Chain A
Amino acid sequence: MDSEFLQTLWVTFKLAASTTVILMIIGLPVAYFLAYSRFRFRPVIEALVSMPLVLPPSVIGYYILVAYSPQNWFGRWLNESLGIRLAFSFQGILIASVIFSLPFMIQPLQNGLRALPESFREAAYTLGKSKSQTFFRVLLPNIKPSVITAIALTFAHCIGEFGIVLIVGGNMPGQTRVASIAIYDEVQSLNFNMANRYAFVLFAISFILLTVIYSINKKHETWRMM
């Protein structure tokens, strides 16, 4: 009983942490592109990235599940050439969660970059610095609050995600059973005691996380003065 509880929390944490790390790597270049590019179809890409904010999780979950299915080319290709079946697996919910959390990572980063004066980038260029040097040494350090916010929102949102994980991953203990699904499951079985423990842990984690973020951001303002 207790080992199952810990196992579910571990899966939840692993999913949220992996999603955040992957999104950090994908999100920085995408946010940079969206903040500064003059590409004509940028609004299309912006809209795609933000879709998870407005679409019901079940819609995205459904499309992802369809894509994973061996009856479609993507699923068949995965199955035949790599021998992978993503549906109802941890990898499957990880990819789904990355897609679904995209805007939570990218939007704060993009807004942070846009809020920086244009002259920061230009000054670094005139000082002989390349675009990547400029990004890592000037832009990124100056959007620290946005980075922290993006990480926290992504992590917290992953922990709280329910619909997509349920559709794509089902409810397989140790594999795809995360805390939010477990709560639903325990409530269905009238096991309120267990539901209560899960709920409390999720509540506490989210609360602590957000409190830490806000105090770091506040501190950051004072750091800048010194």
Chain B
Amino acid sequence: MAIRIDIKKKMLSANGEMNLDINTTLQMGELITLFGPSGAGKTTLLRIMAGLVQPDSGHLEVDGETWFDSNKKINLPPQQRGIGFMFQDYALFPNMTVEENLAFAQDEKDNSRITELIDTFGLNEFRKRKPAGLSGGQKQRVALARALARKPNLLLLDEPLSALDASMRTSLQDEIARAHQLFGATTLLVSHDMNEVFRLSTHVVCIEDGGISKSGSPEKVFSDTSISGKFQVVGQVARIDKQDVVNIVTVITGSNMIVKVIAVDDDTQPLTEGDRVLVFTKAFNPIIKKI
């Protein structure tokens, strides 16, 4: 009951040639995020999983079934992989209504499933509408519902929320989490938003320069366990202000929280704006108060 990935692919990125080399085993049933900077190979990995991109070599196995094997010359086409894929641009078919888009996804007509999905995602009033008449958030819901219409074992979401504004994002993150609970499909989601990773996933795979740099629970991956501090946030240095004999460093965290930290010159000397930093303090310092 696992996804075994061991693939290599040479790819051309904006920074020149890059070797995608991924070797990992993921558990079925989880909501997994592929996290990393753009151009690191996250989307390519997702497309390889879907069968839309063929790796140069390696082996891909999902739930005991081989989907790709360069030695045995196996390459299952996307049609036979039993997946749901949600594209960044949603790829809703303009010639079909919401309902027809969902029905198209099914091999055998199953109206009860469509009604269930339409109810779950609150699409009832749009069911006869074509995609061009929907807002970004509504399109996203239709795309998610359509990806689930085939009852996929594996749901692949390519930066599903990147095109939406912040408030819309939060509510649709909940929608994805709910869909995962309700329909139980193993979900693989590409994201470069740390907040999203924390809100949604049980497991995160960090991809940098075509390889896996870290993998584990979001708490474990994003906090530094080699420090005994209990209060840790990761963020970016927004500014450093010299005041008196100390500096006030302003850090913006993954969840858009602003933290100000006093630091002496020795500590701020290696820092510049935009650097990723870990801010931590001990469990003894924070004061807690009911609000």
Contact B95 A142 (CB under 8 A): yes
Contact B78 A142 (CB under 8 A): no
A158 to chain B, nearest CB (A): 29
Which residues of chain B come closer than 8 Å to A125, judged between CB atoms?
51-52, 77-79
Contact A119 B133 (CB under 8 A): no
Contact B85 A126 (CB under 8 A): yes
Can you name the residue of chain B whose Cβ is closest to the Cβ of A122?
B52
User: Interface readout for A193-226 with B: 1 if CB under 8 Å, 0 if not?
Assistant: 0000000000000000000000000000000111
Contact A224 B130 (CB under 8 A): yes
Which residues of chain A come closer than 8 Å to B129, judged between CB atoms?
226
B107 in the interface (beta carbon within 8 A): yes
A1 in the interface (beta carbon within 8 A): no
B23 to chain A, nearest CB (A): 24
B75 to chain A, nearest CB (A): 13
A159-214 interface with B by 8 A CB criterion: none
Can you name the residue of chain B whose Cβ is closest to the Cβ of A127?
B105
B106 to chain A, nearest CB (A): 8
Main secondary structure of the interface of A (DSSP, over half): helix
B93 in the interface (beta carbon within 8 A): yes
B83 in the interface (beta carbon within 8 A): yes
A193 to chain B, nearest CB (A): 49
Contact A138 B95 (CB under 8 A): yes
Which residues of chain B come closer than 8 Å to A119, judged between CB atoms?
87-89, 91
Which residues of chain A come closer than 8 Å to B95, judged between CB atoms?
138, 141-142, 144, 224
Q: Total contacts A to B, CB within 8 angstroms?
A: 68
Contact A120 B104 (CB under 8 A): no
B59 in the interface (beta carbon within 8 A): no
Name which of A117, A122, A142 has the most chain B CB atoms within 10 A of its CB: A122
Contact A123 B79 (CB under 8 A): no
Contact A142 B150 (CB under 8 A): no
B55-85 interface with A by 8 A CB criterion: 77-81, 83-85
Given A138-B95, A141-B95: A126 touches B50 (CB 8 Å cut-off): yes
Contact A122 B79 (CB under 8 A): no
B132 in the interface (beta carbon within 8 A): yes
Which residues of chain B come closer than 8 Å to A43, judged between CB atoms?
none
Which residues of chain B come closer than 8 Å to A120, judged between CB atoms?
91, 93
B146 in the interface (beta carbon within 8 A): yes
Select B150's contact among A117, A128, A130, A141, beta carbons within 8 Å: A128
Which residues of chain B come closer than 8 Å to A225, judged between CB atoms?
130, 132-133
Which residues of chain B come closer than 8 Å to A117, judged between CB atoms?
89, 91
Contact A123 B132 (CB under 8 A): no
Docked complex Cα distance between A119 and B130 (Å):
18
User: Interface readout for B152-182 with A: 1 if CB under 8 Å, 0 if not?
Assistant: 0000000000000000000000000000000
Can you name the residue of chain B whose Cβ is closest to the Cβ of A138?
B93
Docked complex Cα distance between A226 and B126 (Å):
11
B149 to chain A, nearest CB (A): 8
A69-121 interface with B by 8 A CB criterion: 117, 119-120
A42 in the interface (beta carbon within 8 A): no
A129 in the interface (beta carbon within 8 A): yes
Contact B52 A137 (CB under 8 A): no
Which residues of chain B come closer than 8 Å to A124, judged between CB atoms?
93, 104
B229 in the interface (beta carbon within 8 A): no
B94 in the interface (beta carbon within 8 A): yes
B86-106 interface with A by 8 A CB criterion: 87-89, 91, 93-95, 104-105
Contact A123 B91 (CB under 8 A): yes
Complex A-B, nearest 7 residue pairs according to Cβ-Cβ distance, in ascending order: A119-B91, A123-B91, A141-B95, A126-B85, A125-B78, A119-B87, A127-B105
Question: Which B residues contact A (CB, under 8 angstroms)?
Answer: 50-52, 77-81, 83-85, 87-89, 91, 93-95, 104-105, 107, 129-130, 132-133, 146-147, 149-150
Q: A128-B105, A128-B150 are in contact. List 13 more A-B contacts (CB 8 A).
A: A119-B91, A122-B85, A123-B91, A124-B93, A125-B51, A125-B79, A126-B85, A127-B105, A141-B93, A142-B94, A144-B95, A224-B95, A226-B130
Q: List 26 A-B contacts (CB under 8 A).
A: A117-B89, A117-B91, A119-B89, A119-B91, A122-B50, A122-B52, A122-B78, A122-B87, A123-B85, A123-B91, A124-B93, A125-B79, A126-B85, A127-B105, A128-B79, A128-B105, A128-B150, A130-B79, A138-B93, A138-B104, A142-B95, A144-B95, A224-B130, A224-B132, A225-B130, A225-B132
